[in-house]
Each structure stands twice: as structure tokens, then as C-alpha cells.
Structure 1
Amino acid sequence: MLVVKIGGSLEGAGSLVQELARHDGELVLVHGGGPRIGEALASHNFETRFVDGLRVTPPEQFDIVERVLTQIGKQLADRLSRLGRLAVALSGRDARLLSAEPLAAELGRVGRVSSVSTSLLLTLLNRHLTPVVSPIAVGKDGAYNVNADEVAAAVAGCLAEPLVYFTDVPGVLSDPQDPDSRLPLLDRDEAEELIESGVISGGMIPKTTAALKALELGAPWVLIAPGGPGALAGVLSGKLGTRIVPEKIKRAV
């Protein structure tokens, strides 16, 4: 089984969705929605702000954010179902799938996942239904917007299954200016060193940090890979992306 996260910039990528629909194994799909959320907020004359890679979500914007994410989830589930992989769109509100605690007050209705109801996911998977999860979670005082990378990390960790982040970059690069400098394999310590040294920077920091969290929670490995044509086959063959593991296997010489 795989947990797969599709970034908001890729949710319309038809070839990737087709590949996921044809995949033989079970999947849990987590999605973002950044570009469409930004467009919806702008249409209501709301400003979009980010703090440390997290979308500031004031209470007056939360309903718009949730509505867009729910719509994306329904559309992805419908596309997968029409392609032969029956799918069910969920958010953290459904059967309390995702519980969360609030982050900083300055972020508004933004939270961090505190628990995952794996029983709901396993019930669907055992019936060969693919869960499509929107990054909305519930807390003591209502619902929260949660970073989709963190949701995917929590789901993969709690299920103890591999996680694939499909994004718009080739993977972790030793030279951020050179797209051919992909690092195919990193362990936890190497990834942390690359963050500290600044080689991993910008938007790759929260994604790599989420990958490390997934490993901490129990995922056996995490892969960050581009989501273009042939993406899933490339990931499974080891030809695409950067695989992050708890530690590298030391082979006797």
C-alpha cells in the first residue's frame, strides 16, 4: 500500500490521476489545493498570507478554504471512480478522521494533526475503496485548516506505510540551481544536515520536515518526486525523486 500526496498545483494532472487509478495496490490519496484556494480568496477580496509556509486562515476565510478543498476532493474521487478505482472523498470532519490542535494564534484556524482514525481508512481499504483525504481536521473548538504535507505524513506514519509526495520539483537537489543534481537517496541525518546547511531551502523545507515526521511516526520511507507523465512508474522503479529513509543499510564489503 502507498500513501500519496498530490500538491495543489498537480490536482488537475490527468496523466498522474490515470496512473494512480491503474495502480494494482491499495492507495490513500491526500491532496492540497493552494492555487485554487488563492483564486477563491481573491474573488472574495481576501488577502492571502503565509507564515513559515503555512497559509494564514482567519475565521472569516475558513469556510472558503474548506469549500474549495472539499470540492477538489470530490472531483478527484469522481475521476478515480470513473477510471475504475472506486474512491471516497473524506475530510477530517468525517467520523473524526483527523483530530488537530491549534497552532499559533497569528495563523487563525490553522492546526496540526494530533491523531488519525486509521480504523476508518482501513475499513475503506479492506473494501477496495480508495480514501481521498482533504486536509481539514477537527479540534475542541471546531475545524482547522492543516498543511496537506503534514496530513499525509501523519496518515502514512499511523498506517506505517510508505509515503510519496508528488510535487513540481525533481526531488532534493544538491545544487538548487541545477535540476540535474537530484539526490536519489538520503537518510534522516543527511536530510537534517542539508536543511541546516541551507541546501534544502524555501518550500522544500516544510516538505522535507514533513517527510522526517512521517519516518518518526512509523513510515518506512518517504519519496519526494515530480508528478509528470510516468511519475508513479518512475517512483516504483527508483528512477525518479529522492527517497528518504531512517538510515541507510550498511553493506559489508
Structure 2
Amino acid sequence: MEQALLVKIGGSLREADELLDEMGAYPGPLVLVHGGGPKIGEWLGRMGFETRFHNGLRVTPLEQMEVVEMVLTTLGKQLAEGLSRRGRPAVALTGRDARLLTAEVKDAVLGRVGEVAEVNTDVLQKLLQTGLTPLIAPIGLDEQGPLNINADTAAGAVAGALHLPAVFLTDVVGVLRNPQDPSSRFAQLSRSQVQVLIQDGTISGGMIPKVEAALNALDRGAPWATIAKGTRGILPAVLAGTKGTRVVGK
């Protein structure tokens, strides 16, 4: 059987078609985690809410959480439909379903923003055993209700809990020595190399949270994690090591 993978995809339906084709064509089991930041921002604006960020995370007051959950849940259903039409039957889930993602408040300053405390892996294993693809929206649950979780962080937690390799699909080809030169991609980096590259400024800006998500996946039990651009043929190429940057523990 082909390698089972955890794949984090973006939440933009406009860019989803080619990516869903790739996921549908992959012959092995997949667990998918999706984001939805731009759509959330759009709907919050429509509803008259102000969007604020703190340390790169969306501040989510209680009164905005309902909109965040609505958008992510709807996106999940639309993506699951797209996958199912491509021959990969998918089930859209959030942390509410069977208490899939129990979570804790990350920082009171952020409001209803959480970190994953526990993943109900039994539910995911049972879905995979029946040939279904779990498609997870990053909504966690604590005793007060739903929590908004960064999609990359949620993906790392799920990959670790299932001990699956994590593939973070993004808009860049990987970690680059020179941000202006796609050919300067690092094929593989160790944890210690990542830390050095952050310290010397080679890894900067938006790439920092991506490598931190990869390290989070390793911390939680994933054997490796790859950051790669979501293009045609990407999953076989990631497994072959010919695309993306693979982050390993040592």
C-alpha cells in the first residue's frame, strides 16, 4: 500500500481544483486539514467585524467565533464534495465531531484561539479503514465551546497523533537559501539546521511559522514533515524527495 500522509491544504476554493485533482489521484490513504483565512476575513468584513492579528494569529473574540466556525465548516463541506466527485469519498469534520480535537485557550489576548490538547485518533482510523478520507477544519473544543486553531498547528498535531508524515502545501517551493531564487531550495533540513537558519535570518517572515509547524509535527510524533508548493504531481514528488523541503528530527 502507498504511504499514508497527512496533508495540509489551503482553504481557497478558487485554487482548489488542481489540488483536489492531485488528492483524488493519490493512491494511498490521506488525512487532510484545511485552512480558510481569506474567506474568514471576507465574511467578518461583511458582518461588520474588525479583523486583528497578534503574533501572526487572528484575534478571535467570542462574538466572531460563530462566523469563523460557519465559514470553516462550509468550506469543509465544499472541499469534501469536490474530493468525492473525484473518486475519493471524503467526510468533512471539525473538532466538535466525536470530540475530534479537544483544545485549550492559547492566550487570553487572542480570545477564542486554541491549541490542540488531544486528537481522537480512533475516529480517524475508523474512517480510513472504511475507505473514507477525513477532511478536518481546524476548530477545537473546550468546555466553553469551539476554539479557532491555526490550520498549520492543527495539521501538525493530527499528523503527530497518527504518526503520519506531514505535508504542508503552500505557495512557495520550500525553504530557500535565497528567497529570490527558487533553485536555492533546501532538499532536507534537520531541526538544528532550521534553528540556525532562523537565527541567521535565512528563514524569515512567513516561512518561520511554516517551519515551526513542521517542527511541531515532529515534536508530536510525525516521522518527517515537508513544506512544498501545491502543484501537479506534488505528493509523489514529495515522497521521492524531488520537491519541497523535508524537515527531519536529526
TM-score range normalised by the length of the shorter chain:
over 0.9
Structure 1 position 210 matched with structure 2 position 217: no
Pairwise CA distance, 1:12 = 3.3
Cα displacement string for residues 121-166 of structure 1 (whole angstroms, at most 9, x for unaligned residues): 0010011100000000001221100001011000000111100000
Secondary structure of 1:180 counterpart: helix
Pairwise CA distance, 1:224 = 0.3
Cα displacement string for residues 161-220 of structure 1 (whole angstroms, at most 9, x for unaligned residues): 100000001111112233322111001111111122222111211121111011111101
Pairwise CA distance, 1:239 = 1.7
Secondary structure of 1:20 counterpart: helix
Equivalent residue, structure 1, for 2:247? 244
Check whether the contact 1:30–1:152 (CA below 8 A) recurs between aligned residues: yes
Pairwise CA distance, 1:10 = 6.9
Equivalent residue, structure 2, for 1:235? 238
Residue among 163, 171, 179 paired with 1:160: 163
Equivalent residue, structure 2, for 1:116? 119
Structure 1 position 63 matched with structure 2 position 85: no
Secondary structure of 1:12 counterpart: helix
Between 1:12-21 and 1:117-126, the stretch displaced more is: 12-21
Residue among 180, 183, 188 paired with 1:180: 183
Cα displacement string for residues 91-128 of structure 1 (whole angstroms, at most 9, x for unaligned residues): 00000000111011111110000110000000100111
Instruction: State the distance in 2 between where 1:11 and 1:101 align.
Output: 32
Structure 1 position 35 matched with structure 2 position 43: no
Equivalent residue, structure 1, for 2:103? 100
| Change beyond 3 A, Cα 1:167–1:33 | same
Alignment of 1:2-13 (within 5 A): 2-9=5-12, 12-13=15-16
Residue among 42, 47, 58 paired with 1:44: 47
Check whether the contact 1:2–1:28 (CA below 8 A) recurs between aligned residues: yes
Residue among 118, 127, 130 paired with 1:127: 130
| Change beyond 3 A, Cα 1:191–1:9 | farther
Equivalent residue, structure 2, for 1:139? 142
Structure 1: where are the runs of 5+ without partners?
248-253
Structure 1 position 76 matched with structure 2 position 79: yes
Amino acid aligned to 2:17: G
Between 1:175-184 and 1:91-100, the stretch displaced more is: 175-184
Percent identity, aligned pairs only, is 57
Between 1:228-237 and 1:54-63, the stretch displaced more is: 228-237
Count of paired positions: 247
Structure 2: where are the runs of 5+ without partners?
none
Amino acid aligned to 2:111: G
Check whether the contact 2:11–2:35 (CA below 8 A) recurs between aligned residues: yes
Instruction: State the distance in 2 between where 1:96 and 1:190 align.
Output: 37
Instruction: State the distance in 1 between where 2:70 and 2:13 align.
Output: 18
Structure 1 position 88 matched with structure 2 position 95: no
